[in-house]
Structure 1
């Protein structure tokens, strides 16, 4: 089997339901983090943001 990068290593594939479960779980964790104080209280910093895949920063 070959993945998009041409490697012959096995590729792990999650079912659509498992992908959704993991994204919902990460979204909930991100929402908790967004509700907390920023990690940096002085100077410039980026707001926490959910981009539908990851929580930044």
Structure 2
């Protein structure tokens, strides 16, 4: 079993949907409240298949 990793650490993303470059590169390329808009912005930046996650509004751990 692999070691869990933290994908998003910044509080400014709490309660938002974020698009990450990949599971191995957790650079946030887009964020917002609407899934489709976040996906479109990530693709506009050249990331065709971003990792999309919803960051909980409260301090919660989510395992993917």
TM-score (norm 1): 0.28
More helix by share: 1
Structure with the larger RCO, 1 or 2 (CA within 8 Å, 6+ apart):
2
**Radius of gyration: which is bigger?**
1
More strand by share: 2
